[in-house]
Structure 1
Amino acid sequence: MNIKKVQKRLDIRFGGNVHIADTGYSFRLTGTVDTWNQVVEAGLMCAKSGSKKHIVNDITVPDLEKPCVIQPKISDAALEGRRPDVLVIGGGVVGCAIARELTKEKMEILLIDKEYDVALHASSRNDGMVHPGIDIRPGLLKKKMNNLGNALYDKVCKELDVPFVRSGQFLCFKKISYLPLLVLTIPYWNLTAAGKAHVITGKTLRRLEPGISPEAKCALYFDGAGTVCPYGLTIAFAENAVDNGAEIALNTAVSKMEVKDGRIKSVSTNRGTIYPKIVVNAAGVFAEDIAQMAGDRFFSIHPRKGTNAILDKKARRHIKTIYTLMGTQSKSGHTKGGGIVGTVDGNVLVGPDAAETIEKEDFATHKESIESTFEKHSHAGQWLTTGDIITYFTGIRAATYEEDFIIEKGRLTDNIVHAAGIQSPGLTAAPAIGLQVESLVTELLGEKTKNPKFNPIRKAIIRPKELTDEERANLIKENPDYGQIVCRCEEVSKGEVLDAMRRSLPCDTVDGIKRRVRPGMGRCQGSFCGQQVIRLIAEEKQIPLMQVRKGYPGSEILFGEKGGSREFL
C-alpha cells in the first residue's frame, strides 16, 4: 500500500478528517466522520488499496455511542482459580468445533460463552448452507477453509449424527446466450470450487427444479453445495466436546485480561478469574474486543446485519435444492445476495440481505428487509408469497475490512490464537478451522499427546417420526413417553423433550429445547405445544412454573396464577 496515495484519497472523500498511520503490524485509521456507514466506507477504502496488513478502524462519529455489551446477570465464583490448558472464548459453531478438535489431545479444555446456551448469535442466525465456495476470491484464507471444511462435512456429520444433505446449488441466468460462456467456465469452477460444476439448460433445469421461474433459461449447478441445521451442528460439536472431557461454562463473560511480558496471565469473568496457558479467541462479533483485552488488536470487526424468512413446510414442494437467479442480486461486493434454500428440516429459507450496523446484538427484524428480500428472490421463485412466512430472524456477521478470515497466533501476545472475522462461509469452514486452530494450539503448548479416550461418535436424540412403524411401536413399548405427542406440527414426543434436558450439554429453557428437538418450530410457532414444554421443564428441573424461561434470564413466561387458582397450564 502506498500510504500517501491512500491518505490523499481519504482527504478528498472526507475533507481531511480521516487519517491513516502504519503501526508496523496494521494500518490504523483515526479521525471523525458524520455516520457509521462512513466509518465503514473509510475502512473498506483502505482495505481495497492492496495492503497485506489488516485495518484497525478507530474513526469516531460525534454523539454516536457504541452500544454496551449485554452482560450475564449471574455473578459467582464458579470458575475462580481454574487453570485450563486452553480457554476457548465463544460458543458458536467455530468455538465448539475447536473445542471438540482439541479434545483429541490430552489437555484440559474450558469453553466459555456469555449467553445461556451455545449457538445464540451467528451460528443460529444463518441459512444453514454449506457453500461450494464459488463466490470467494481465490487466494483468500476463507476460500481455502471453505473448500477444506466442505470436504469434511460428510465425515463430521456422520460422526456427530447430524442431518446433512448435499442438495446442490443452481445459479440461474436469464439469457440463453450465456450458455457458451458458462461452458467455458467449467474448468475454472472444477479447479476452484468444492465439488463439480455442471451446465444445465432450461428444459433439464425445469425437470430438476420445476419451481424455478421461467425467467431462468440456463444454469450452473454445483454439486458440492449442501444444507445442515447450523445450531444443530453447533450443539453436536459442543456435546461431543463435553463427552470427550471438555467443560462448557455458559453465562460467562470476559471483562478484562492481565497481560504481562507479552503473555496473558489471567482472564477475569463474572464467574471468577481463570489462569489459562493458551487463549483461543473465537468470539465472533466480539473478537476485536477480546483481542484488545489481550493486547493483540491488529484487526477490526464491522458488524453486518442480515435477515432471513422461514416458510411453512408446504412451500418445500417448490424447491429440492438451493437456487438463485443471477442479475437480481445485491450490487454490494460484500454479500452473496442470498437465495432460496430448502432446509434439512423441510422448511424453506429466503434471504439474507446485508446492512452495515454498529449494533453487535441488535437482532430486530424490519419489514423493509423482508419486503426487499422477497421482491428480489421472487424472480427466481415466482411461487414465493409472504403468506407462507411462519417466522423470521436476523443475524450479525463478523466481517473484517479485508473480508477474510483471521486464523493465526497472536502478533503482540504470545499465548493467544485468533479465529476471527469468521463470517459466511464460517459454517462451511468450521470443521477445517477446528483442525487449523488445534494445530496452532499444540504448537504453542509444545506438546502433543493423543487422548486415548477420545470418541468421535455422538448419537443424536431419537426421532420417533423418522422410524418405521415397527421400530416406533417397539420404542413406545419400551418407553411410552415416545408415544405422547407434545408438538403436533413437528411431531415431537415427550420423550424427545425429556432427552433434550438430559444430554451432556443440558438445557432448561423453551428455546433451548426448541433448538434441539423442534417443538414450536412449526406453523403455529408453539401455540399448542408451548404450555406442555413449560410443564415438562418445570417437572424435570423441579422448579416452579413461573421460573421457566423462554430463553435469556428475565424471559420468564408466566407472571401469576389465573383467577387466583393454582390450577393453570
Structure 2
Amino acid sequence: MKKILKNIEERINKNLSSKVYCRQWRDSIVLEGEVDNWNQVIKAGKIAAGKGFKGVVNKIQVKDLIIPPINKPMLRDYALQGKRVDVLIIGGGVIGSAIGRELAKYNISTLLVEKEDDVAFHASSRNDGMIHPGIASKPGSKKGYYNVKGNRMYTKIAEELDVEFKRRGNIILYEKSLMKILAPIVYNRAKKLGVEGVTHVPLKELRELEPNITERAAGGFSFPTTGILSPYKITVAFAENAVMNGLELSLNTIVESMEVQNNKIEWINTNRGKVYPAIVINAAGVYSDKIAEMAGDEFFTIHPRKGEILILDKKKGNLFNRVLAMPSISEKSGNTKGGGLVKTIDDNILAGPDAYEQPLREDYSSNRENIDGVINKHLPLVKGLGKEDIITYFSGIRAATYEEEFIVEKSEYIHNLIHAAGIQSPGLASAPAIAEDITGIAIELLSKFKKVYRKVDFNPIRKGIPELAKLSFEERSEIIKNRPDYGIIICRCEEISKGEIIDVLNSPIKVNSLDAIKRRVRTGMGRCQGGFCTPLITEIISEQSNISPIEVTKKGRKSNILVSETKTPWKEDTNGTV
C-alpha cells in the first residue's frame, strides 16, 4: 500500500500544483494539506478514490475558506437526560424514517433524533420524487441492488401508507438515430441489474406516446418501472407509521458528542440530555461522516453535491406523461444522471436537477447561471414549455462520498454502530430496501443480549389526510357535511381547506411551522407561492397550537413570520368612548 499511497500523492500534487500528503488510517486513505480552491479538494479526492482503499477521508483545507458550523436547534433542555433505548437513529430523512418504521415491527425501544423541527427537512424534501428504475447504477453496486429492490417495494408500501404513487415510466431520449444500435447493450445492462420491461422506442412510436416531444429526438429507451411520488409525503408517512407503532421521535434534537469506550458507544450527548443506546444507526445525511468521526470510525468524507430544480405550473402538466431526459455523452461518465423533466404526482412539472460541487452542507441558495443551464437544457425537450411557466425554483444537496457508493453496513471497529451513509440519488428509490437491511443488522446485534421478536400487533396501515382537491363533488360534500372546516378553502392555488391544515396540526407528529404543513398538504405550493394563504395559515397555527402568531415560524429556529404587534386591540371604555 505504501507504493500506492506514494503514486496517489504524486499524481495529486502533479495535477493540483500543490502540496498534499497521503497516509493510511486503518483501511482508508487520508488526504491532508492546503489548496487554493474547493475544486482542487474534490479533484484530489476523486484521484484517491477507487484505488483499493475502503474509503477516502479528505481533510484538505482551502486557503481563506471559512465553512460555517452546523445549524443547531435553539432548544436546550433535559427531556432525554438518562434515557436508555435499544436503538438510537440519528437523522429524520427518508432513510432514518424508513428504518424507524422497520424497527417498529419488533419488540424493541427505538428513538429517532432529528435536529430540525420536522422530518424530511433537507434532501428528503429537495428532490424530484422520482423512483428510479435502477438502470443508471453500476451492475454489482450497492446502489444498483438497493435501487431495483426498493423500486419494487414501493407499490405495497405506498398502499399501506396511503401515499399516492404512480408508475409513470420514463423515456431516455437520444438525438442521433445511430444510437439505436445501443439497444443490446442497454438490454444486457438491465438484465444484470434486474430492471424489468426495458424496450427500445423507435421515432414513430415515440411521437405517438409523447406528441409534444422535441424534434431533436430520434428515438429512446423506455423504462416502465419508473415511479413518481411526493418525497416529503412518503418520509412523513414512514415516520408517522413508526410513531403509531411505538417509535419515539425527538425533533429539534442534535447529537453534540459521544463517549466511546472499548470500541463501543456508551452514551450520546444531545442538546436535550444524555442518551444511552445499545445500538446507534448513523443516518445523518450530509453529516453522516461527522457522526462517524465522533464515534471514532471516520473512513469516508461527504462532499456536498448541489443541484437546482425548477417548478413549472400545473397548467402545462398535460404536455407529456412520462419522465423525459436526454443525457449528453459527457454525462455518462460523470456522477449525475443528468436530470430531465418530471411530471410530479400533483401534475406540476419539475426540470432538473443539475449537479455541481460546493463546500457548504446546508446552503440552499440558488445560482442564476445554473438555473439558466437547467432552463436551456431541459425545457426544449417538450414543445410548449417556456420560462413563463416557471413558478419557482429550489436546490438540494446530495450526500456523496468519493467512492460514489452507498455505505450500508455495521462498523468494523465500533461494535454497536451501524452506517446508512453516503445515500445520495437514487436514495429515495432505495430507502425501503436499505431500511430492511439496516434493521436486519440491528436485530442481529440486539439478539446477542436480548430476546427479539416481531410484534403481533404491528399495524402497517397509516391513513393520510383527505385531499379535498382530488375528491369528487359527492365525496367533498360528504366530508364537508361531517367536517365544516373542510368547506373553508385556505390555499386557493392548491385548493387546501382549513380542515386539512387542522388535521396536520393534530397528526401523530406534532409540528407547527408553515413548511411542515406545506410538506403534508402542499399549502403555498401554487402559483402565488403562499402570497394569499400565509396569513390565514399563521392564524390557524396560532389558534390550534395555542401560541402567539409572533411565535409561528416558517421553518423553525428564528424564521418567525411576524416580528411584533404594530397595534394593540382597541377597547371601549365604560363611557362608550374608544
Shorter-chain TM-score: which interval? over 0.9
Tell me how far apart the structure 2 counterparts of residues 104 and 265 of structure 1 sit (CA, whole Å): 25
Three-state SS of the structure 2 residue aligned to 1:111 is strand
CA contact (8 A) 1:475 1:482 kept: yes
Q: Does residue 538 in structure 1 map to residue 539 in structure 2?
A: no
Render the CA deviation track for 1:225-246: whole Å, top value 9, x for unaligned: 1111000000000000000000
Q: Check 1:383–1:327 CA distance in 2 against 1; reply closer, same or farther (3 A cut).
A: farther
Q: Residue 265 of structure 1: CA displacement? A: 0.5
1:60 maps to 61
Matched, 1:235 2:236: yes
Tell me the equivalent position of 1:490: 494
Query: Are positions 1:450 and 2:454 aligned together?
Result: yes
Distance 1:432 1:46 in 2: 29
How far is 1:384 from its partner? 2.8
> Which amino acid is the alignment partner of residue 221 of structure 1?
S
- Post-superposition shift, 1:358? 0.9
For 2:223, the equivalent position in structure 1 comes to 222
Pairwise CA distance, 1:329: 6.7
Q: For residue 499 of structure 1, what is the aligned residue in structure 2?
A: 503
Equivalent position amino acid for 2:396 in 1: G
Match of 1:555 in 2: 559
- 2:395 matches 1:415: no
SS in 2 for 1:85: strand
Question: What amino acid is aligned across from residue 22 of structure 1 in structure 2?
Answer: Q
What corresponds to 1:106 in structure 2? 107
2:21 aligned partner, one-letter code: H
Q: How far does the alpha carbon of each residue in 1:13-42 deviate from its partner, in whole angstroms, 9 at most, with x for none?
A: 234611222223211111222111111111
Deviation at 1:4, TM superposition (A): 3.4
CA distance in 2, matches of 1:45, 1:379: 36
Gaps of 5+ in 2: 572-578
Which deviates the most, 31-40 or 102-111?
Answer: 31-40
Residues 470-502 of structure 1 deviation map (CA, whole Å, 9 limit, x = unaligned): 222122111111111111111111111100011
Q: Which amino acid aligns with 2:6?
A: K
**Aligned residues with identical type, % of pairs:** 46
Aligned partner of 2:523 among 514, 519, 525:
519
Q: Alpha-carbon deviations, 1:432-473, whole Å to 9, x = none? A: 010010011011112431122211111110122322222221
Cα drift, residue 410 of structure 1: 1.1
Q: TM-score, normalised by structure 2?
A: 0.95
Output the CA distance in 1 between the equivalents of 2:43 and 2:172: 29
- Of stretches 315-324 and 15-24 in structure 1, the one that deviates more from structure 2 is 15-24
Q: 1:334 to 1:566 in 2, by over 3 A?
A: farther
**Does structure 2 conserve the Cα–Cα contact (< 8 Å) formed by 1:183 and 1:199?**
no
The residue aligned with 2:574 is: none
- Whole-angstrom distance in 2 between the partners of 1:296 and 1:39: 22
1:170-569 equivalences under 5 Å are 170-182=171-183, 185-327=186-328, 330=331, 333-446=334-447, 447-562=451-566
> Partners in 1 of 2:399 and 2:26 — Cα distance?
24
TM-superposed CA distance for 1:562, in Å, is 4.7
2:395 is paired with a residue whose SS is: strand
1:64 positional shift: 1.9
What secondary structure, in the 3-state scheme, does the structure 2 residue paired with 1:277 have? strand
Please give the secondary structure, in 2, of the residue aligned with 1:53.
coil
Deviates more, 1:63-72 or 1:1-10: 1-10
Structure 1 counterpart of 2:27, one-letter code: Y
C-alpha contact (below 8 Å) 1:303/1:397 kept by paired residues:
yes
Count of equivalent residues: 566
Q: Alpha-carbon deviations, 1:86-139, whole Å to 9, x = none?
A: 000000000000011001111000000110110111000001110011111112
1:155 has 2:168 as partner: no
User: How far apart are the structure 2 equivalents of 1:566 and 1:249?
Assistant: 41
Q: Deviations over 1:123-159 (max 9, x none)?
A: 0000111001111111211111111111101011111
Pair 1:10-2:15 in alignment:
no
TM-fit CA distance, 1:346: 1.2
Aligned CA distance change for structure 1 residues 80 and 566 (closer, same or farther; 3 Å): farther
Kindly provide the amino acid, as one letter, of the partner of residue 410 in structure 2.
K
Q: 1:523 to 1:25 in 2, by over 3 A?
A: same
Q: Which moved more, 1:511-520 or 1:324-333?
A: 324-333
What is residue 38 of structure 1 aligned with on the other side? 40
**TM-score of the superposition, structure 1-length normalised?**
0.96
Q: Deviations over 1:355-411 (max 9, x none)?
A: 111100101012111101111113422433221111111111100000000011112
Q: Is the 8 A contact 1:374 1:384 kept in 2?
A: no
Partner of 1:47: 49
Moved more, 61-70 or 216-225: 61-70
Residue 193 of structure 1, CA deviation = 4.6
Could you tell me how far 1:518 is from its partner in structure 2?
1.1
Letter in 2 for 1:14: L
Aligned-partner residue type, residue 545 of structure 2: K
2:135/2:189 contact within 8 Å kept? no
Equivalent-residue separation in structure 1 for 2:196 and 2:348 (angstroms): 25
Using the TM superposition, name which of 55-64 and 532-541 deviates more: 55-64
Do the aligned partners of 2:145 and 2:193 also contact (CA within 8 Å) in 1? no
Secondary structure in 2 matching 1:22: strand
Classify 1:566/1:235 alpha carbon distance in 2 versus 1 (closer, same or farther; 3 Å).
farther
Give the deviation of 1:331 after TM superposition: 7.0
Distance 1:370 1:281 in 2: 33
Residue aligned with 2:78, SS? coil
Cα deviation, residue 550, structure 1:
1.4
Which residue matches 2:22? 20
More moved, 202-211 vs 532-541: 202-211
Distance 1:470 1:11 in 2: 71
Instruction: Tell me: CA distance 1:522–1:427, structure 2 relative to 1, closer, same or farther (3 Å).
Output: same
Residue of structure 2 in register with 1:115 after alignment: 116
- 1:66 shift after superposition: 2.6
Alpha-carbon separation, structure 1, partners of 2:273 and 2:231: 31
Q: Deviations over 1:483-538 (max 9, x none)?
A: 11111111111111100011111221111111111111111111121111111111
**C-alpha separation between the residues in 2 aligned to 1:57 and 1:180?**
41
Q: Secondary structure at the match of 2:307?
A: strand
Secondary structure (helix, strand or coil) at the match of 2:435 reads helix
1:406-441: per-residue Cα shift (whole Å, max 9, x none)? 011112211000000000000000000100100110
**Alignment partner, residue 576 of structure 2:** none
Structure 1: distance between partners of 2:399 and 2:467: 34
Deviation of 1:212 (Å): 1.4
Q: Distance in 1 between matches of 2:200 and 2:344?
A: 24
For 2:418, what is the secondary structure of its paired residue? strand
